[in-house]
């Protein structure tokens, strides 16, 4: 798997996992959403044999605080270790390059696998955000503090 700088065509090639798609229900135009996120921080794409496996980024909210996000395809399942290492490396790079003291993420509450995974990356739960999503989905806020 290779990691490269995000390009807009990557989004069109990403086939979201069902729970990822559910998390983004109601967001509207995903291209516009991505344009906003690309403008506020680093964004990278994981590609395996010309298949887009995931897109990850961090939106810098203000100095020292970033909000991380990842869009995944079903190919993540067969490339778990490479995916985990890529995200872990990205977090460390961003922590140093952007002088992060806090990185937060929001995960669809019903996406239990992602909740367990983010905890393995050293994030702690800060609680459930009821009706947080545009379709009133519950999300869990996680944060990692340095």
Residue 137 in tokens: 């989905």
Provide the pLDDT for residue 72.
Answer: 95
Q: What is the pTM of this model?
A: 0.92
Report the mean per-residue pLDDT for the chain.
Answer: 94
Assess whether pLDDT exceeds 90 at residue 27.
no
Provide the pLDDT for residue 96.
Answer: 97
Assess whether pLDDT exceeds 90 at residue 85.
yes
Provide the pLDDT for residue 28.
Answer: 79
Q: What separation in angstroms does the CA of 77 have from each of 74, 108, 119? A: 6, 18, 18
Q: What is the largest CA-CA distance in the chain?
A: 39
Average pLDDT score over residue span 97-106? 98
Strands of the chain, DSSP E: 2-5, 43-48, 51-62, 65-72, 102-108, 124-129, 139-145
Contact 66, 41 (CB under 8 A): yes
Tell me the C-alpha distance between 36 and 44, whole Å.
14
Query: Range of 104's domain?
Result: 2-145
pLDDT tens figures, 54-80: 999 999 999 999 999 999 999 999 999
The total domain count for the chain is: 1
Strands of 63-110, DSSP E: 65-72, 102-108
pLDDT tens figures, 127-144: 999 999 988 999 999 999
Contact 56, 94 (CB under 8 A): no
CATH of the domain at 44: 3.40.630.30
Q: What separation in angstroms does the CA of 65 have from each of 33, 53, 85, 110, 127? A: 20, 26, 22, 26, 18
Assess whether pLDDT exceeds 90 at residue 49.
yes
């Amino acid at each position: 798997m290779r990691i490269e700088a995000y390009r807009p065509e990557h989004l069109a090639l990403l086939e979201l996992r069902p729970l990822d798609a559910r998390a983004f229900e109601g967001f509207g135009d995903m291209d516009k959403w991505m344009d906003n996120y690309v403008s506020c921080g680093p964004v990278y794409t994981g590609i395996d044999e010309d298949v887009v496996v995931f897109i990850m980024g961090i939106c810098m909210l203000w100095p020292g605080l970033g909000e991380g996000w990842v869009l995944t395809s079903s190919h993540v399942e067969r490339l778990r270790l490479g995916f985990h290492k890529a995200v872990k490396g990205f977090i460390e790079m961003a922590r140093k390059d952007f002088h992060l003291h806090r990185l937060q993420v929001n995960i669809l509450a019903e996406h239990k696998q992602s909740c367990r995974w983010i905890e393995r990356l050293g994030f702690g739960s800060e609680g459930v955000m009821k009706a947080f999503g545009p379709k009133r989905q519950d999300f869990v806020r996680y944060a990692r503090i340095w």
